[in-house]
Amino acid sequence: MKAPDPELLNVDYGVGGVTTHVRSRKLGDDLHSETMVLNLGPAHPATHGTVRIVAELSGEKILDADVEVGYLHRGFEKMCETVDYNQVMPYADRLNYVSPIINNVGWCLTVEKLLGVEVPKRCQYIRVIMSEISRITDHLTCLGASAMELGAFTVMLYMIEARELLWELVEDVTGARLTISYGRVGGLKYDLPNGFAAKLDAALKQTRKILVDCDRLLTRNRIFIERMCDVATITAEQAADFSLTGPIARASGLNYDVRKAFPYSSYDEFDFEVPLGSKGDNYDRFLVRFYEIEQSMRICEQAISRLPDGPIAVDDPHIVLVPKDQVYGSIDGMINHFEMVMYGVKPPKGEAYIPVEGGTGELGFYTISDGSGYPYKVHVRAPSFIHMGVMRQMLLGAAVADVVPTFGMINMIGGECDR
């Protein structure tokens, strides 16, 4: 029997010329044994083309790992400088594409801060409702995908079913499911449709029912707990050192939620809790997200029951497009419309940074205005990118089988991470 050529086995096929510091080493024992370098991704079922993990293995144990991101880089920040402030919206959709509304809201708030305006209460409440729906879909996707990667395919499809109910709501409101472009500087694209409250109520009820099923199937399943507990533990200090935010930081016990710390869009008017973990392992991250879904549903219910009447946009023709009847019915309406379409919103000179609580963590938009209709500079504090920095720390000493659930619990969204 002719054995495979050992040279062929050990070649590290670099992807796109990217090199890695991870190399196989001789192990210090009497036998001639060396570690194996395993290239997980970017063409791997669990990394779906967005990340590459080069792991040095001794048996199934990970001795060293190199995490490479950037496979989905599109130049978001540079692209934003070429379009006006409202046209950034479709680009922002594609950051965290699982919860695009939160990105829209974050960008709108940043530009509104530059402009020095505050949107009406109704608009703020609708933004809250839609953001929380997005957060639920984000968490459901994250939890479902992680469950699937652990072999619990059924749970994933249950969660996708719940997400489907919520995305139907999003479709009702925005007309699209994924790239919704719902936000507008100074307001929103549409008001809520008729009968939205009843639909939301029904969808949340059904989602709760599905989550009870998932809870029975998964969160109290012995195999699942053993797989998740004490894996990729991150202490609160480490979380702070790596500037982790969002569910990952909260799973480590770091009580930081932008909605509580720097309330935006009337979040301070709602009663909700921030679930905190204690150990900071994968299971805590899973549970924090699981309980956050319930809190998000609570916020949705409060907001929809107290939804104030009124306009959904600021009453300023230099920020928001004037209604169509004025465009065709009055000369100044026509001029305002022309100005808005041709030159866009023109914030005064200055800079602004606004963080919002995204699905994965603190999502911050920083922009500089030079007084023209185009942003001078845009930067996104993408939580996924920052969280990927801790991945190596989490993987050291873990098993190969832990890579995928850990990666899933970081919830790295390619569009947001690589921008």
Closer residue to other proteins (CB): 206 or 238: 206
Cβ distance to other proteins smaller for residue 76 or 224 = 224
**Measured between alpha carbons, how far is 122 from 263 in angstroms, rounded to an integer?**
16
Residue 255 CA to residue 349 CA, distance in Å, equals 35
In sequence order, what E strands does 41-173 have? 52-58, 61-68
- Is the Cβ–Cβ distance between 249 and 256 less than 8 Å? yes
We find the least distance from the C-beta atom of residue 185 to other proteins, in angstroms, to be 41
CB under 8 Å to 305, separation ≥6 — which residues?
Answer: 197
The minimum distance between CB 201 and other proteins, in angstroms, equals 22
- What is the distance of C-alpha 264 from the center of its chain? 18
Q: How far is the CB of 389 from other proteins (least distance, A)?
A: 23
* Euclidean distance between CA atoms 140 and 147, whole angstroms: 10
Task: Tell me whether the omega of the peptide bond preceding residue 42 falls within 30 degrees of 0, making it cis.
Answer: yes
Nearest Cα neighbor of 395 from 159, 127, 61, 91 is 61
C-beta separation of 174 from 190 below 8 A: yes
Pairwise CA distance, residues 111 & 344, whole Å: 12
Q: Residue 233 CB, nearest distance to other proteins (Å)?
A: 16
Q: Which is nearer to other proteins, 225 or 335 (CB)?
A: 225
Closer CB to other proteins, 229 or 327, in the complex: 229
| Nearest distance, CB of residue 404 and other proteins, angstroms | 5
- Distances, alpha carbon 344 to alpha carbons 101, 320, 351, in Å: 21, 9, 18
Nearer to other proteins, 39 or 134 (CB): 39
What is the contact surface with other proteins in residues (CB under 8 A)? 1-5, 8-9, 36, 38-39, 44-46, 60, 147-154, 157-158, 161, 217-218, 221, 223-224, 226-227, 399-404
Minimum CB distance to other proteins smaller for 224 or for 267? 224
Query: At closest approach, how far in Å is the CB of 36 from other proteins?
Result: 6
Of 128 and 391, the one with the shorter C-beta distance to other proteins is: 391
CB of 224 to other proteins, least distance (A): 5
CA dist 376 and 10 (Å) reads 48
